[in-house]
Amino acid sequence: MPFSRKDQQPHPTIVTIAERLGVSTSTVSRVLSGHVNLRGGKSAVRHAAIRALADQLNYRPSFIGQAIREQRTRIVALLNPHRRLLAGNVYGPMLSAAELALREAGYHVMLECVSEIDQLPTDAFLNRRYDGIITFHQITPAILAAVERAAVPTVAINADGVLPRVLVDDAGAMQALVHHCLARGHSRIAFVPGRHVPARHPSDPRSPAYAEHHSLVLREQAFRSACAAGGIASDTLEGFTRDEVVAALLRRPAKNRPTAVIFNGDDLAAACLAALAAHGLHCPADIGVCAFGISDDPQRCTPALTIARVPIAAMAERAVATLLAALEENHSLVIDPPLVLPCPLIVRESVSLLR
């Protein structure tokens, strides 16, 4: 049977309860919000009757009413770059960690995609009256200007810019990966940034606009610096997919081919291991492989991958804690310098001593 709004029963309100029991709406409001003390006598009986009728009617506080009284919606917007990235091993877990922390604090979550907001008038998405915003990616100047005009407390995760930020130590992690390879005798080390060539539309997550993320820029700079400090030339292997990266590697003459490769992500690194073995390049005997990693599972590929572990959940949780402190304590939101979390090096089996 089709559902019609006409068939829907009206939600009970504090007015409904007050009229049935012959008490004031202010009394009902105080009782149901827990702002009264039961000390026996007639008041205790009346208060018990209010709670019993509220349960019987399945009364629920009005979200709109609470928002008007408190002048806040208790909604936080989570901004991610693009919908198709939610299934990945970075933004999905990060959003989940943030959503859990916010819900435990009594906040509702609205997921927004920057690629879609950019198609709206600059203030349109702020008309949803968010109490705060957490962004997981760079936001455009137009969105930033709208956020600043509306004075909505905003925290950025691993993004460059003027907003209060929670970052990871990308440069320190890259230096640790390069030093790990150098210490095992590797002098031909390449970095795989995971960019797609040629260029695509900016809204495509494989495009250079997406690829030049804050973290990637810092990692590339640190890679070149660490190689120079180690007295070796820096090398880059371009490619977005497994086949593109493997093809780029195999095009190199054997005598000039990298003996160790650092990947920007452990998904691509794991995918390339089996493909390289099919071409006679076995890890770690013929080529060392390590990566910036998300997964704690050493069994996800063979051999177990050495990683600089990116603290995805911790970044989200610290960003939420920072935002909630500003919202609950009503103070200005300032993190200067930004909070930087370490990426510990987890040494496994994928980079051996060079023979």
pLDDT value of residue 52: 84
Q: Where are the alpha helices (DSSP H) in 128-258?
A: 141-150, 170-183, 208-211, 214-229, 242-250
pLDDT value of residue 5: 47
What's the rounded Cα separation, in Å, for the pair 182 and 231?
Answer: 10
pLDDT value of residue 336: 65
Q: From the DSSP assignment, how many helices (H) and strands (E) are in the chain? A: 13, 12
pLDDT value of residue 152: 83
pLDDT value of residue 212: 60
What's the rounded Cα separation, in Å, for the pair 69 and 254?
Answer: 71
What's the rounded Cα separation, in Å, for the pair 141 and 113?
Answer: 15
**Average pLDDT for residues 265-287, to the nearest whole number?**
92
Tens digits of residue pLDDT in 194-210: 875 554 444 444 444 44
pLDDT value of residue 118: 57
132-135 and 288-293 beta bridge pairing: unpaired
Comparing 180-189, 296-305, 324-333, the range with the smallest average pLDDT is: 324-333
- The answer on pLDDT for 88 being more than 70 is no
pLDDT value of residue 200: 47
Tens digits of residue pLDDT in 144-167: 777 777 778 889 888 877 788 899
pLDDT classification of 300: cutoffs 50, 70, 90: confident
pLDDT value of residue 270: 92
- Supply 290's token pair: 């390590």
pTM over 0.85: no
pLDDT value of residue 211: 44
Q: What are the structural domains, with CATH classification, of the chain?
A: 5-61 (1.10.260.40), 74-168+313-341 (3.40.50.2300), 170-310 (3.40.50.2300)
Crossing angle of helices 41-56 and 25-32, rounded to 10°: 80
- Supply 242's token pair: 């497994």
Tens digits of residue pLDDT in 328-346: 776 556 656 788 999 999 9
Q: Residue-wise over 109-119: b if at least 16 C-beta within 10 A, else e?
A: beebbbbebee
Q: Residue-wise over 192-204: b if at least 16 C-beta within 10 A, else e?
A: bbbbbeeebeebe
Provide the 8-state DSSP code for 8. Answer: S
Comparing 31-35, 135-139, 210-214, 274-278, the range with the smallest average pLDDT is: 210-214
- The answer on pLDDT for 244 being more than 70 is yes
Average pLDDT of the chain? Answer: 81
**Average pLDDT for residues 73-98, to the nearest whole number?**
78
Provide the 8-state DSSP code for 187. Answer: -
- The answer on pLDDT for 73 being more than 80 is no
What's the rounded Cα separation, in Å, for the pair 134 and 319?
Answer: 7
Helix (H, G, I), strand (E, B) or coil at 33: coil
On the question of a cis peptide bond just before residue 141, with omega within 30 degrees of 0, the verdict is no
Sheet holding 108-113, edge to edge: 108-113, 75-80, 132-135, 154-157, 165-168, 339-341
pLDDT value of residue 183: 96
When comparing pLDDT for 12 and 4, which is higher? 12
pLDDT value of residue 335: 58
pLDDT value of residue 39: 53
What's the rounded Cα separation, in Å, for the pair 222 and 176?
Answer: 10
Q: Which residue matches tokens 């909630």?
A: 324
Helix (H, G, I), strand (E, B) or coil at 109: strand
**Average pLDDT for residues 84-112, to the nearest whole number?**
83
Measured CA to CA in angstroms, residue 33 lies from 48, 54, 65, 98 at distances of: 13, 12, 13, 28
pLDDT value of residue 232: 96
**Average pLDDT for residues 123-128, to the nearest whole number?**
62
* Number of other residues whose CB lies within 10 A of the CB of residue 4: 7
Under 8 Å between Cβ of 55 and 88: no
pLDDT value of residue 91: 80
When comparing pLDDT for 80 and 167, which is higher? 167
Q: Is 106 left (phi over 0), alpha (psi -120 to 50) or beta?
A: left
